[in-house]
Amino acid sequence: PGTPILVTATAGTTDTGQIDPLAEIAALCTTHGAELHIDAAYGGPLLFSPTHRNKLHGIERAHSVTLDLHKLGWQPASAGILAVPDHHHLDALHHHAPYLNAGDDTEAGLPDLLGRSLRTTRRPDALKIAVTLQALGRTGLADLIDRTCAAAHHLADLITKTPTLDLYDHPTISTVLFRPTDATDHTVATIRRTLLTRGHAVLGRTHAHGRLWLKATLLNPHTTPHDLS
């Protein structure tokens, strides 16, 4: 087989929040001449935290990185970022297609969105991201991230100490998977519906190792140990 053109690693999976060994993957890409893209939609903001940024060691070697700041950035759902090391990597945005860059539209004063947003006709939310960064700075965002991750670890500790609950693994970021000991998948689904009314975490469900697990993703930095008990 030929040399791979692009390798994609994940910094924070949607199901468990786990992070790939980024430095090792980057080294392999260098050895084999492949570009590296890192999907850091969930875990990327850990870079703001001196406590947690080491989990992303190697991300600086990526050729492109995506972040989805509605998770650990407390932004609107559409506030995503594609980061590249040099602006020339975005030259594709300047491609002109007749159906997207109609000359008569430009002459009529209609805005040309192709070069302003990766999603062309959809709004960019860069201003909201910039305002948040200006208002909170790295220190403010680090505090929110650290408190959120601490709450997730506290929840995991509570689950570990509860004989009737099984913990999937200690959280890498702020997602905690657990299930009642020996419960059926139907019981797990029923419990999820009950817990959804509490509102301290985004509560979903996912399959791992052939079993259904409750998935609590903590995203509220104001969640206290009392809220989780």
Q: Domain locations in the chain?
A: 6-132, 139-228
pLDDT confidence of residue 70: 87
* 6-132 maps to CATH 3.40.640.10: yes
DSSP state of 92: G
pLDDT digits (tens, 9 = 90+) for 19-76: 999 999 999 999 999 999 999 999 999 999 999 999 999 999 999 999 988 889 998 8
Position of tokens 């159906």?
99
Q: Residue 74's CB: how many other CB atoms inside 10 A?
A: 19
Residues 6+ apart with CB under 8 A from 124: 116, 117
**Continuous H helices in the chain:** 22-32, 103-107, 126-160, 185-195, 225-228
pLDDT at 119 over 70: no
Q: Do domains 6-132 and 139-228 have the same CATH topology?
A: no
Q: What CATH number was assigned to the domain covering residues 139-228?
A: 3.90.1150.10
pLDDT confidence of residue 104: 73
Average pLDDT over residues 5-13: 95
Instruction: Give the confidence band of 208 by pLDDT, cuts at 50, 70, 90.
Output: confident
**Cα–Cα distance for residue pair 133/205, rounded to 1 Å:** 32
Percent pLDDT > 90 in the chain is 45
Position of tokens 């703001």?
48
| Residue 12 Cα to chain centre, angstroms | 6
This prediction has a pTM of 0.82
